[in-house]
A and B are shown apart, each in its own frame.
Chain A
Amino acid sequence: MDNETRLGLYKTMVLSRSFEEAILRDYHADKKPVWDIGAGLIPGEMHLSSGQEPVAAGMCAHLTSNDAITATHRPHHFAIAHGMDLRLLAAEIFGRETGLGKGRGGHMHLFDPSIHFSCSGIIAEGYPPALGIAFAFQRQGKDSVVVAVTGEGAANQGAFHESLNLAALWKLPVVFVIEDNDWAISVPRDASTSIRSNAVRATSYGIRGTRIQDNSVEGVWDAAKTAVERARAGEGPSLIEVHTVRLWGHFEGDAQAYRSDLDSLIDPIPAYANQLESDGVLSREMIGSISQEAKMRVEDAIEFAKSSPLPSATEVDRYVFA
């Protein structure tokens, strides 16, 4: 793997983290003195992806804006790694008319046709549309692929199993990605799932399955390379499960009293920085400047969002129908 690619992976992860740190700050900034989920400039549920950046960075490094992603309720890292315009993303999160969905959608409902990105707040329900996107690409003679993302909790839904079977049967260009962060809200994986690895489930549907045990961005990158190449070449779907980490709560405001693993979590971004530094790819100064540059881009996006107009109440029924 060349140094430029490795640096690129690192930068993507840092950008995603910077964005979420800014959202985290602004989400909580005006919910005091009595914390109220519906109050403030960013109201509603907020599911942040910090810790899971390696999955998105490693996958999206192989994609172009002609490839599609269907993401989940926790979509920011994939949106950013796939190149979503940070201003449009931030404006949607702040509920502004300039946002991707003109403030109608919110952070679980991001739709960006320019990069074929979508997500859903209903668990596992992003998988079936991923098949349709792949089907369209195939019929239109494109070599584009779809990356369909869920958490490990979602892999117990019917939609997951139906989709795996149909994708295999019709040899659709899909890469199924499972982010196993050990938790589905408060339910640990071993209390929800009868099997250790979803790669085995993939195999049982006739799909190539891989499990990456260590949240390594380069491990994801490797597995993704094969899976995306196979899909582009018409060799059908693959599944990649990554054992990753949810550094923060399920959503903001989650006290995580159910969680006993908080002291043992490894943040993958400083870990990768150390690795790149000892390999001579990254210097202390570069770490600083990469972080500075990410922060500048993020603050520009947040500024744009905050200074954008709110949607007009008189237009509430606009966009129900085409």
Chain B
Amino acid sequence: MVITGAPSESVTARKLTTAKAMVEAISQEMDRDPSIFVMGEDIGAYGGIFSSTSGLLEKFGPQRIMDTPISETAFMGLATGAAVEGMRPIVELMFVDFFGVCMDQIYNHMAKIHYESGGNVKVPVVLMTAVGGGYSDGAQHSQCLWGVFAHLPGMKVVVPSNPYDAKGLMISAIRDDNPVIYMFHKGVMGLPWMAKNPRSLGPVPEKPYEVPIGRAAVVRTGRDLTIVTLSLSVHHALDAADELASQGIDCEVIDLRSLVPLDREAVLESVAKTGRLLVVDEDYQSFGLTGEIAAVVAEKDPRLLKAPVSRLAMPDIPIPYSRTLEYAVLPTAERIAAAARLVMA
């Protein structure tokens, strides 16, 4: 098992927010490779609604940092076309919820061309997009939807949970010759105007580095129970694990970091050790990530398990606006801890 979390304080003292780490990655890669450009809505003067492009316009100018009209189909397709001809576009879909207006360009074109061309045509696009809820943005602005992108073949899907991984995964995504969907949760960006987990500010080395796509990280080791999760839920799982430790339950927490490719080995190795599995997902439950992870174990060897697999995901309900309702369905630390106790019971 590879333990590949963020480096310790002594390795790098400098701390960045996840948003700043992403911007630094893009900026360093743009310095290196003139074929990279960034486009999307409000990514220029505004710097991205969730600060994913702050300062890039000032540094690289309007030839390489371009605000688009609200025409997602047109600019998604533009990214594909430009990539096919040798450029390396980074395109932002402001909220993943908006994929509905441009999905054909993504899943039928961007994602399939490499295969359909027998490997003759490469489409190196990074599609970055904001995901997640928790601040009452309602049913059309709070979804995660990574299960949809991971379900459809031809796209890599990465989902960083912290500043270190955000930088390294962005650099890997840019250098990758495939379409990579880069999904950042608003709650891990370290935005000044939104409640955030303290871990959205963390150590980030200044030099460019890659975090390999397709490798999970064991972000906490433990003996009793494996919690497999990703994105903001990693932080909730770590908080829950702290609480559970004081009650004598020793959790191992796995941050998947990538859904495609999926690090099945990391899951199996951990479950082989703990014998118990709780999968936590802020995406909808049915036909999604939690079922996929359960299948990883079931297909390999269900006898690894001392207790049935447990799933804690967004129920199959449009995400409600009112805070009392939204927090009744989000996978909070309290609900993760409660689910973990049930697995142990």
A interface residue numbers (CB < 8 A to B): 34-39, 43-45, 95-96, 101, 103-106, 108-109, 120-125, 153-154, 156-159, 184-187, 191-193, 253, 257-258, 310-314, 316-317, 320
Closest A residue by C-beta to B62: A191
Q: Measured between alpha carbons, how far is A154 from B72 in the docked complex, in Å?
A: 11
Asked if B310 lies at the interface with its beta carbon under 8 angstroms from chain A, I say: no
Asked if B139 lies at the interface with its beta carbon under 8 angstroms from chain A, I say: yes
Please determine whether A316 and B318 come into contact, CB atoms closer than 8 angstroms.
no
Closest A residue by C-beta to B46: A186
Distance from B304 Cβ to chain A, minimum over Cβ atoms (Å): 33
Please determine whether B320 and A104 come into contact, CB atoms closer than 8 angstroms.
yes
**Secondary structure of the B contact surface, majority rule:** loop
- B61-85 CB mask vs A (1 if < 8 Å, else 0) is 0000001111111100000000000
Q: Which A residues are in CB contact (< 8 Å) with B44?
A: 186-187
Asked if B195 lies at the interface with its beta carbon under 8 angstroms from chain A, I say: yes
Please determine whether A35 and B193 come into contact, CB atoms closer than 8 angstroms.
yes
Asked if B323 lies at the interface with its beta carbon under 8 angstroms from chain A, I say: yes
- Pick out which of these stretches binds chain A: B156-164, B170-178, B255-263, B324-332: B324-332
Give the top 3 A-B pairs by smallest Cβ distance, nearest first: A38-B135, A106-B321, A95-B322
* Number of A-B contacts defined by CB within 8 Å: 141
**Secondary structure of the A contact surface, majority rule:** loop
Asked if B140 lies at the interface with its beta carbon under 8 angstroms from chain A, I say: yes
- B109-124 CB mask vs A (1 if < 8 Å, else 0) is 0000000000000000
Closest B residue by C-beta to A45: B137
Q: Measured between alpha carbons, how far is A184 from B101 in the docked complex, in Å?
A: 17
Please determine whether B101 and A125 come into contact, CB atoms closer than 8 angstroms.
yes
Total contacting residues, chain B, CB less than 8 A:
43
Q: Measured between alpha carbons, how far is A44 from B49 in the docked complex, in Å?
A: 14
Q: Which A residues are in CB contact (< 8 Å) with B100?
A: 122
Distance from A91 Cβ to chain B, minimum over Cβ atoms (Å): 10
Please determine whether B324 and A311 come into contact, CB atoms closer than 8 angstroms.
yes
Q: Which A residues are in CB contact (< 8 Å) with B317?
A: 316-317, 320
9 contacts between A and B (CB under 8 A): A45-B137, A104-B139, A105-B138, A106-B322, A120-B140, A157-B70, A157-B72, A187-B67, A320-B317
Please determine whether A186 and B42 come into contact, CB atoms closer than 8 angstroms.
yes
Q: Measured between alpha carbons, how far is A105 from B140 in the docked complex, in Å?
A: 10
Q: Which A residues are in CB contact (< 8 Å) with B320?
A: 103-104, 311, 316
Looking at B69, B74, B139, the one whose CB has the most chain A CB atoms below 10 A away is B69
Distance from B209 Cβ to chain A, minimum over Cβ atoms (Å): 32
Please determine whether A320 and B318 come into contact, CB atoms closer than 8 angstroms.
yes
Please determine whether A122 and B98 come into contact, CB atoms closer than 8 angstroms.
yes
